[in-house]
Structure 1
């Protein structure tokens, strides 16, 4: 079945709502499917399939990019692999560390060889580059993938030219952007409807007091937006790893301790804000002199989320104005309380990235 036929079938069954922007990318997905399943052979005795140009789908959150990629992936019958980009980078870092222990001069080479050995299609969800180390590794790996004839389909909230935007030594990364545009068709999915936000419509965003009722309510929100799926999200930031325990399709869930009880800083929170569009934050305690360091991190986290217009859904010990009542920093917290109030407004975070 073609990808277009699979899409039409899902619409007819009521599982999808027909969307012109989504339909606009179906010919590209069918092109890839047909070319991979019916390859044009070349080389000595015509044993090598010609490379098939991949696809880079980008657009605002909740527009159906992941759904379309998964639909195509299910209809393409070749050796293949599908990974969330952050999970893929976590695997890559582990493989590079293992290769280095063997004493090789170039630890990326054996990892690239292992990755390209048995696949013809690699699908990535939510490509995002926030660290110079990841930027350099990804460039090398994609060169190896394309050289081996592997076709890549990826989704991203950003166009290729905005990957690792304003990053350290970004000029070193620019040739990789050119490689993407050369070896992959770039298609903006400019759908008007944010289907993910539809699942959050009318949902309260601030639950207090942080009792059993609040915990049950916030767990129900996570269940609704995650659709029962969850994987950890690991970010690589300036040589460190930051892990959120639950992640699905642009939505992350974590506790206050996960993000503010550990020695994280502005760079970590900026990377988090760039990687997610909705954050569900559980169990924000009362703040004061007894947890001053955690409170400072919380202020930095809220600033990063606010500037990136990430939607925040949280449970807390008290209303924003009463979270930080005494001690050093309570006066400065008034701005954070104001931002927390503003972030509860209808439509917050619905601006496309």
Structure 2
């Protein structure tokens, strides 16, 4: 009998929601095996140790969609799905709570108060919440994450936690050229030991194909622009849950409320009326491969500061080769035709038109 994920995959192919890709066959088989293994129970001694799945390949090959299908029907009631950045942000927060907490607060959060090392109580808390952890877009660029991961996952695997991971990099390429990388390699060894590593390297980037088949600059007063914008967001998100992302910028916490993996979505006012600067925009551009901006208005001279911030934002996206999807009242040429900096804004108009072209989408490189 086919697994639940195999049936769900075939159903979406028949509905036209997915297009058959031979490169995905091996991934579906691996996730089917994991689904079956998760459903097994030892007669005595509880659940057996289960080998997870590490699914890697270039952006846009369907890794996240396949994980969504698997997670939805995985036969494990204690399961969690999160973007890897969100998971690590919580880990760092739990470590902080342990280190700063007194006996009572430690006991309340972790159920224990003993010891100086936070890794064991943090791992125990995570394992108590979920036997299955599904991580999307695992990447390691931060030395603080690199130093924690090996010991944390040692503890999680000892507690029989099972992981399902997607990444753009093979395990041995994680944190490549990073500071003190030898201290990180035990994490790679644990992943290879506890996961079936599957490459999903098909020739087609389905996310790019979807964007090229659509508009990415939606303007006008009719309701169709909103419908098209929302449909593209839904298609690219592919069922991934939305969650806030926290970006540490110069000691500040910059929050993007709506994100899904490498996708981010915010209004013009949230990005350009808020007191954000170049470093904030650079962090957004580096963190996300695609940014959706809602409700770009027509700006007059009285909103020159917002216009300047918009210029800085578009420069950051352009230099990082980040894809842009926008919904605006008018065409790029109409956004800021007069006022301080209007002449300089013409370069932004040129860049917006270029970023809406198929050639730009072909050249843009999503973040990992």
Under a length normalisation based on structure 2, what TM-score does the superposition of the two structures give? Answer: 0.75
**Structure 2 CA distance for aligned equivalents of residues 281 and 168 of structure 1:** 35
| Most deviating of 269-278 and 117-126 | 269-278
Change (3 A) 1:328 1:19: same
Question: What's the CA shift for 1:69?
Answer: 1.7
Unaligned runs of 5+ in 2: 107-115
- 1:55 paired with 2:64, answer no
Change (3 A) 1:100 1:69: same
**Which runs of structure 2 are paired with 1:133-152 in the superposition (5 Å)?**
133-152=144-163
**Which runs of structure 2 are paired with 1:334-349 in the superposition (5 Å)?**
334-346=346-358, 348-349=360-361
| Most deviating of 340-349 and 310-319 | 310-319
Q: Is the 8 A contact 1:234 1:241 kept in 2?
A: no
- 1:217 paired with 2:225, answer yes
Question: What's the CA shift for 1:254?
Answer: 0.8
**Structure 1 CA distance for aligned equivalents of residues 164 and 24 of structure 2:** 15
- Cα RMSD of the aligned pairs, angstroms, is 3.8
**Structure 2 CA distance for aligned equivalents of residues 70 and 188 of structure 1:** 17
**Structure 1 CA distance for aligned equivalents of residues 145 and 309 of structure 2:** 25
Structure having the higher helix fraction is 2
Match of 2:323 among 311, 317, 335: 311
Match of 2:70 among 69, 72, 84: 72
Change (3 A) 1:16 1:323: closer
**Structure 2 CA distance for aligned equivalents of residues 12 and 285 of structure 1:** 39
**Structure 1 CA distance for aligned equivalents of residues 227 and 94 of structure 2:** 34
Change (3 A) 1:185 1:90: same
- 1:115 paired with 2:126, answer yes
**Structure 2 CA distance for aligned equivalents of residues 40 and 175 of structure 1:** 30
Change (3 A) 1:175 1:327: farther
SS in 2 for 1:349: helix
Question: What's the CA shift for 1:9?
Answer: 4.2
Change (3 A) 1:139 1:289: farther
Match of 1:36 among 26, 38, 42: 38
Q: Is the 8 A contact 1:222 1:253 kept in 2?
A: no
Match of 2:248 among 237, 262, 265: 237
Question: What's the CA shift for 1:190?
Answer: 1.7
Aligned residues: 346
Question: What's the CA shift for 1:139?
Answer: 4.5
Question: What's the CA shift for 1:293?
Answer: 5.1
Match of 2:216 among 196, 205, 220: 205
Question: What's the CA shift for 1:248?
Answer: 3.7
Q: Provide the residue aligned with 1:20 in structure 2.
A: 22
Q: Is the 8 A contact 1:130 1:237 kept in 2?
A: no
Question: What's the CA shift for 1:258?
Answer: 1.8
Change (3 A) 1:318 1:220: closer
Question: What's the CA shift for 1:343?
Answer: 0.4
**Structure 2 CA distance for aligned equivalents of residues 5 and 140 of structure 1:** 34
Q: Is the 8 A contact 2:5 2:32 kept in 1?
A: yes
Question: What's the CA shift for 1:234?
Answer: 0.7
Change (3 A) 1:225 1:282: closer
**Which runs of structure 2 are paired with 1:245-256 in the superposition (5 Å)?**
245-248=257-260, 250-256=262-268
Q: Is the 8 A contact 1:84 1:126 kept in 2?
A: no
Question: What's the CA shift for 1:342?
Answer: 1.0
Change (3 A) 1:68 1:327: same
**Structure 1 CA distance for aligned equivalents of residues 48 and 226 of structure 2:** 50
- 1:258 paired with 2:239, answer no
**Structure 2 CA distance for aligned equivalents of residues 159 and 169 of structure 1:** 19
Q: Provide the residue aligned with 2:111 in structure 1.
A: none
SS in 1 for 2:358: coil
Q: Provide the residue aligned with 1:6 in structure 2.
A: 7
Change (3 A) 1:324 1:106: farther
